[in-house]
Amino acid sequence: MPLDARHSHDTVELLVPGLTCAACMRKVEARLSTVAGVSSARVNLTNRRVAIRFDQVRTEPEALIDELDRLGYPARPLSQTDTDDPMVRESRALLLRVGVSGFAAMNVMLLSIGVWSGADAAMRDLLHWVSALIALPAMAYAGTPFFTSAWNALRAGSLNMDVPISLAILLSAGNSVLETAMSGQHAYFDAGIMLIFFLLVGRYIEQLTRARARSSASELLAMTGRTTARVLPDGTREKIATADLEPGMQVAIAPGERIPADGRILVGASDLDRSLITGESLPVRAQHGTEVNAGTLNLSSEIIVEVTRAGDDSLLAEIAGLVGAAERGRSRHDQLAERAAKLYAPSVHILAALAFAGWLWATGDGRLSTQIAVAVLIITCPCALALAVPTVHTVATSRLFRGGIFLKDGGALERLCEVDTVVFDKTGTLTDGRPRLIDPLPDAHPAWPLIAALSRASRHPYATALNEAARARKIVPAEIEDMSEVPGQGVEARVNGVRVRLGRPGWVGTASAQVALSLPDSDVVHAFSFAQSLRPDAEAVCERLRRQGYDLYMLSGDHPDAVAEIATATGIADARSGLTPQDKHAVLKVLRDDRRKVLMVGDGLNDSPALAAAHVSMSPGSAADTTQSVSDIVFTGESLQPVLTALDVAATATRRARESIGIATLYNVIAVPVAVAGLVTPLVAALAMSGSSIVVTLNALRQRTPS
């Protein structure tokens, strides 16, 4: 959105998924504001975006993205549709309604105090008219969401919570105007507007909890990057938008880039990291003729790929489709509050109608009967009920937040509480996804400087592990020349003219272990072995879960050997290996048909269909952004403890929510007979309504004290 063309200033909004804390916010803002041409940078921590105002002449969005990349915060620009975030607009509109109804409620209450403290007839009428003047427009504006929703429900031939709410608002407003016009004693303007205010507060709280949840399918497709180098038939290259790729085109993929579409390798050979798609932790060798999928990371050297399926046909798009379908399926889950509402709405209407009929029959006074029916509707209006669940969820969310656990959907708490089966992914979830050197050389060994120098050159996970080991020992890399990486084999270089190799044992000249190093001055070859490192408390957490009666499963796309090793370590009896994303999704479906409520914990993109299909899902913060957006819960840190914490908090929260609904019901049991008996004056209605709302809120806050 261009702001000021004269100074060529522009504003760009970038999505930065890594923005999770105050420190990130500060770092990103501070760094961006040092870039020449940037006049301001402001982070929005809620939706993980940064808005940057910059001078078009002196810098460009691409440069800003690179700058953020270097800082360790990968960013991507938002498309025009993303920028116009409906969430922000909705949230603002809702807050505005809260404000308007709050303003009206306060003023009308103030006027009502005048009425209650015994104003004479003329003064009472004046106060009633002023109240009407404030309350009616406010009700019309602030009550719109309820009216629309009730109208939609009625048109569809069903009842929801908003039907009795709308009816109570409309009837109380209509009745009060009538009473005021006839110079009557009781007007319910205050009760009606307060009702709206409390209900809106409940909705706004819910909205805040949901603010982090985002549409996942579109983010999934963004994984492939925005532009690609297309190779034209004459060998020249041009930049092309990923969206414009078509089957038959040839694209060049540099090391470190993701493959933008499904295809076949034409030229070159390389190692591919397919963990995003398959969950395999180790790179696979790919050469001429190998089929590759979109989203695969190219590790070692440039390849040229002929596109076979692009865009909506690619495997990545297929996964996105699966995720979308599974998520839609889950949103049909009946939540506690909805179940309560289904019982509640019809019984309230019947009660009010009965009260009206009964009084009409007994007294023959239509005006009095209407008044009593309205009083019943107002007093039974589900204020406390509407606040009960959102307040409990908000408190639970903040409890989890302090434990480094981010809850995206309050409904997940209720679902979490029903879980009886926990399914883990292996790579990145039970393990931390990085191989660990298990038999290092002695610290003073002369080969270390060489290892440090050679391992720097490769992106292979083994090389990274070796390099980390060298850095941990503060080794100064040796001087080497002519270094080159041989795809699929290893790294080669010369030391004083003698060749050294670090890589695949067969290539280096030995048959054992996983990586070998040849030395320049002897025939000795050093061999290194690696193991997957479990998260520090993975065993303990699995053990606790088992003792609490959960069934544990492990689903992995990895090799059977690697899976068996972890299964033994964690004691998970049912471990399956070699699964594709579709397979995992299918297993989850079988479990669901078995009437099991599954908590799926996974981190890879290959887990996302399964995560979306599970009853509840959790992802570690190290997971792909897309995977995080599919999950209900994201946890940070090295530990798996959050799985236990979340289950525990969910149990407490659901207990509190049930209690709150119980309190709200109890309040009705007491208040309804009073209303039916015709004893509810506007004062009583106002006090009862505020009272029950406050009690329910206090009950939600009880979660804070550790049980």
Q: Which sequence positions are flagged as catalytic? A: 425
Q: Which of 8, 39, 79, 347 binds another protein (CB under 8 A)?
A: 39
Q: Which of 9, 42, 333, 544 binds another protein (CB under 8 A)?
A: 42
67-106 footprint of another protein as x/- string (CB under 8 A): ---------------------x--xx--xx--xx--x--x
Binding residue count for another protein, defined by CB under 8 A: 36
Q: What residues between 103 and 132 interact with another protein by CB under 8 A? A: 103, 106-107, 110-111, 114, 123, 126, 130
Residue 509, phi-psi category: left (phi > 0), alpha (psi -120 to 50), beta (remainder): left
User: Which C-beta is closer to another protein: that of 108 or that of 292?
Assistant: 108
Q: Provide the CB-side half-sphere exposure for 166 (13 A, CA).
A: 18
- DSSP H or E stretch at residue 15: strand 9-15
CB of 34 to another protein, least distance (A): 9
Give the DSSP per-residue string, 324-360.
HHHHHHHTTPPPHHHHHHHHHHHHHHHHHHHHHHHHH
Q: Which of 4, 8, 33, 248 binds another protein (CB under 8 A)?
A: 33
CB of 625 to another protein, least distance (A): 18
Distance CA 636, CA 682 (A): 51
- Cα angle for residues 23, 276, 468 (degrees, 5° grid): 60
User: Which C-beta is closer to another protein: that of 25 or that of 545?
Assistant: 25
Q: Which stretch binds another protein (CB under 8 A): 36-44, 217-225, 564-572, 618-626?
A: 36-44
CB of 108 to another protein, least distance (A): 10
CB of 46 to another protein, least distance (A): 5
Do the bridges between strand 515-518 and strand 498-503 make them parallel or antiparallel, or are there none, so unpaired?
Answer: antiparallel
Distance CA 149, CA 166 (A): 9
User: Which C-beta is closer to another protein: that of 99 or that of 673?
Assistant: 99
User: Which C-beta is closer to another protein: that of 53 or that of 658?
Assistant: 53
Residue with tokens 């307060």: 194
Q: Which residue intervals of 418-537 are DSSP H helices?
A: 448-455, 461-472, 505-508
Distance CA 307, CA 266 (A): 10
Q: Which of 4, 7, 8, 46 binds another protein (CB under 8 A)?
A: 46
User: Which C-beta is closer to another protein: that of 129 or that of 147?
Assistant: 129
Cβ-based burial of 23 (10 A; exposed 0-12, middle 13-18, buried ≥19): exposed
Q: Which of 12, 16, 41, 395 binds another protein (CB under 8 A)?
A: 41
CB of 620 to another protein, least distance (A): 21
Q: Which stretch binds another protein (CB under 8 A): 41-49, 182-190, 250-258, 264-272?
A: 41-49
CB of 87 to another protein, least distance (A): 10
CB of 58 to another protein, least distance (A): 16
Whether residue 461 contacts residue 435, with contact meaning beta carbons closer than 8 Å, is answered with: yes
CB of 41 to another protein, least distance (A): 5
User: Which C-beta is closer to another protein: that of 147 or that of 204?
Assistant: 204
User: Which C-beta is closer to another protein: that of 53 or that of 592?
Assistant: 53
Q: What residues between 206 and 245 interact with another protein by CB under 8 A? A: 208
Distance CA 507, CA 489 (A): 6
User: Which C-beta is closer to another protein: that of 119 or that of 267?
Assistant: 119
Phi/psi of residue 19, nearest 5 degrees: -75, 100
167-206 footprint of another protein as x/- string (CB under 8 A): ----------------------------------------
CB of 19 to another protein, least distance (A): 9
User: Which C-beta is closer to another protein: that of 202 or that of 604?
Assistant: 202
CB of 44 to another protein, least distance (A): 4
Q: Which stretch binds another protein (CB under 8 A): 31-39, 265-273, 380-388, 574-582?
A: 31-39
Distance CA 695, CA 475 (A): 64
Distance CA 343, CA 481 (A): 78
Torsion of CA 604, 606, 609, 612, to 10 degrees: -10
Q: Which of 12, 14, 43, 170 binds another protein (CB under 8 A)?
A: 43
User: Which C-beta is closer to another protein: that of 114 or that of 403?
Assistant: 114
User: Which C-beta is closer to another protein: that of 119 or that of 325?
Assistant: 119
Phi/psi of residue 407, nearest 5 degrees: -100, 130
Cβ neighbors of 573 (< 8 A, separation 6 or more) are: 552, 567
Distance CA 147, CA 155 (A): 12
Distance CA 219, CA 225 (A): 11
User: Which C-beta is closer to another protein: that of 211 or that of 684?
Assistant: 211
Q: What residues between 5 and 24 interact with another protein by CB under 8 A? A: 21-22
Distance CA 477, CA 303 (A): 30
- Cα angle for residues 105, 107, 110 (degrees, 5° grid): 105
CB of 174 to another protein, least distance (A): 23
Torsion of CA 565, 566, 568, 571, to 10 degrees: -170
Torsion of CA 660, 664, 669, 675, to 10 degrees: 170
695 binds another protein (CB under 8 A): no
Q: Which stretch binds another protein (CB under 8 A): 42-50, 419-427, 627-635, 647-655?
A: 42-50
User: Which C-beta is closer to another protein: that of 53 or that of 559?
Assistant: 53
Q: Which of 7, 8, 26, 701 binds another protein (CB under 8 A)?
A: 26
Handedness of CA 281, 286, 291, 297 (dihedral sign): positive
Q: What residues between 133 and 162 interact with another protein by CB under 8 A? A: 134
Q: Which residue intervals of 35-161 are DSSP H helices?
A: 61-71, 80-83, 86-116, 121-142, 144-155
CB of 96 to another protein, least distance (A): 6
Orientation of helix 121-142 relative to helix 189-210, angle to 10°:
30
CB of 43 to another protein, least distance (A): 6
- Other C-beta atoms closer than 10 Å to the C-beta of 666 total 13
Q: Which of 9, 18, 29, 321 binds another protein (CB under 8 A)?
A: 29
Phi/psi of residue 559, nearest 5 degrees: -65, 150
The residues that bridge with 493 in the sheet, in sequence order, are: 500
Do the bridges between strand 250-253 and strand 303-309 make them parallel or antiparallel, or are there none, so unpaired?
Answer: antiparallel
Residue with tokens 């996983």: 514
- The binding site for another protein (CB under 8 A) comprises 21-22, 25-26, 29-30, 32-33, 39-47, 53, 88, 91-92, 95-96, 99-100, 103, 106-107, 110-111, 114, 123, 126, 130, 134, 208
